[in-house]
Chains A and B, each alone.
Chain A
């Protein structure tokens, strides 16, 4: 993910965008970016995930819907190895990470970006140091860190906030700094935990657009946890392209192509009650899903 995200060098981005929509035969792409096999997890006596199995393919965005306490954040923590399953396996890029030690997990986490529910910024560090965190930890020289931090902040449209402290930021800005921090190092997998919760609609839309840009221009695989139906609407029916001037624009599916790289999964009490496209979700006759969609 380089400067082409925003302005110049549209060629690379266009290629990435095309490859996302192609049916790719490449054997490597047939390996899911994330796979859960019969994962069971309980806190004390409470079973939070009950024999959960699903896959997120390369370049795919998996939207996870579900009420609070359904185990959505828990899924994301399992992918990162922040929690370990009681039973079953978690695979990242085809590799079983279930029994990885914390040290082995550190290597896996290098390729995963994580956007936390409330941003989870380090409040003792400035925006700059937050975004630069991974690079500072790796001992990257400061003259390489700064351009990278600026590039990431430009991606989330927050270059002005570079010297602010987290406490000075609004909720939406914190989330975006969190996204910038997660994207340093160009991870191929990005996990979003309710990135739009509690934000006003235009800011929420901006965050969905960031997720779409990652999916369509950077070939990133992601899990996007949300309980806002309009997020689903955006992500499943629009896509990002780079126009002739090198600007990123969003088009609706239909005229030129049909989006197949975004899937929806609905959770309820630790089980998957629906998995498929957003159209199929809308057609579902399940009472709970209908209530969830209508909001009453």
Chain B
């Protein structure tokens, strides 16, 4: 099979997996405890890295842009630049990449080791559909957590930018904040939520699919984990490009 065929096949399998996971959402048994446990693991568990990522990204945005803006006498617009970069791009994308690294890899490794130790077969033999018991709760938890984490990263990023601007560059706090308020439009907020929803589906389905298609023992688990992280990261970045353009067209802001 050549590369294109394989890629198409992979796309088909991944889409089917997502469809089957969501198809079972309204049927019994519903795996509510599993879903809550996953939200805890994925959402609450990622808080620390998201807080750190958000804060320092906002900070470094101020560090890098303030001198340039000052050269043009536009230092009062630091807040504007920090907020726009974060809400439109860096918040969603960095969050998705961090979650891919932390959660995507964990999902794929966990499902992969369940495959190689025959736990998935055992589950099916005992009458449970692993897609509904394992995949759906993870997808759903990601779908809820990632937008929330993204909002958190945005807020902390702006906070980090504000701290840096006020403490290091003596920008007045009210100037920074009013620039932030000017910067963020409704369209940005819509984009800031739509993107993480799409990204969460990308990360979740790819990680689950790679995990469940693990072959070849423990070595295979490593391979599928790597593949999950690499594929999800790249596709997130590519999807971000097209989403940005699509949102501009849809919202009429080009």
Q: B119 to A122, Cβ gap below 8 A?
A: yes
Tell me which residues across on chain A come within 8 A of B240, comparing CB atoms: none
Which residue of chain A has its CB nearest to the CB of B133?
A: A137
Q: What's the minimum C-beta distance from A71 to chain B, rounded to whole angstroms?
A: 16
Contact B29–A120 (Cβ < 8 Å): no
| Set of chain A residues within 8 Å of B126, measured between Cβ atoms | 109, 133-134, 137, 181
**How far is A137 from B118 in the complex, measured between Cα atoms in Å?**
19
| A118 and B117 contact, CB distance less than 8 A | yes
Q: Which residue of B lies closest to A178 (CB)?
A: B122
Residue of B nearest to A80 (CB): B125
0/1 string, A115-146, CB within 8 A of B gives 1: 01110111100000000011001110000000
How distant is the Cα of A133 from the Cα of B125 in the complex, in angstroms? 11
| Bound CA–CA A110/B126 (angstroms) | 7
Given contacts A118-B117, A120-B117, contact A82 B124 (CB under 8 A): yes
Given A117-B118, A123-B119, A137-B29, does the pair A82, B125 have CB atoms closer than 8 Å?
yes
In the bound complex, what is the Cα–Cα distance between A145 and B102 (angstroms)? Answer: 36
A114 touches B128 (CB 8 A): no
Question: Does A102 touch B at the CB level, under 8 Å?
Answer: yes
Interface string of B106-129 (1 = CB under 8 A from A): 000000000001110111111111
List residues of chain B with CB within 8 A of the CB of A139: 29
CB of A77 closer than 8 Å to a CB of B = yes
In the complex, chain A residues whose CB is within 8 Å of the CB of B127: 106, 109-110, 134, 137-138
Please report the C-alpha to C-alpha distance between residue A80 and residue B122 in the assembled complex, in whole angstroms: 10
Q: Can you name 8 A-B residue pairings with CB atoms under 8 Å?
A: A80-B121, A102-B124, A106-B127, A106-B129, A109-B126, A117-B118, A120-B122, A137-B29
CA distance A292 to B125 in the complex (A): 31
The answer on a CB contact under 8 Å between B118 and A109 is: no
Whether a CB of chain B sits under 8 angstroms from the CB of A112 is yes
From A103, which residue of chain B is reached at the shortest CB distance? Answer: B129
B122, A109: Cβ atoms closer than 8 Å: no
**Size band of the B side of the interface?**
10 to 19
Closest chain A CB from B216 CB (angstroms): 13
- A contacts, CB < 8 Å to B: 77, 80, 82, 102, 106, 109-110, 112, 114, 116-118, 120-123, 133-134, 137-139, 181
> Which B residues touch A120, using CB under 8 A?
117-119, 121-122
A-chain residues with CB within 8 Å of residue B123 when the two chains form the complex: 122
Interchain CB contact under 8 A, A114 and B125: yes
Q: Decide if B129 touches A102 in the complex (CB within 8 Å).
A: yes
Q: Please list the 10 inter-chain residue pairs (A to B) with the smallest Cβ-Cβ separation, ordered nearest first.
A: A120-B118, A120-B122, A114-B125, A116-B118, A106-B127, A134-B126, A109-B127, A80-B125, A137-B128, A120-B119
Most chain A beta-carbon neighbours within 10 Å: one of B29, B119, B125: B125
Segment 100-158 of B: residues with Cβ below 8 Å from A: 117-119, 121-129
CA distance A117 to B128 in the complex (A): 19
A30 to B: closest C-beta gap in Å: 27
Besides the known contacts A116-B121, A138-B127, 4 further A-B residue pairs in the complex with CB atoms under 8 A apart: A109-B127, A116-B122, A118-B117, A121-B122
CA distance A155 to B117 in the complex (A): 25
Chain B residue with Cβ nearest A105: B124
**Closest chain A residue, CB of each to CB of B125:** A114
Q: How far is the CA of A181 from the CA of B118 in the complex (A)?
A: 14
Closest to A108 in B: B127
| Interchain CA distance A114-B120 in the complex, whole Å | 13
In the complex, what's the smallest C-beta–C-beta distance from B136 to chain A, in angstroms? 15
Inside 8 A of A114's CB, which chain B residues have their CB? 122, 125
Min distance, Cβ B213 to any Cβ of chain A, angstroms:
14
Task: Give the shortest distance, in Å, between A118 (CB) and chain B (any CB).
Answer: 7
- Please name all residues of chain A whose beta carbon is closer than 8 Å to the beta carbon of B29 when the two chains form the complex: 137, 139
Contact A118 B118 (CB under 8 A): yes
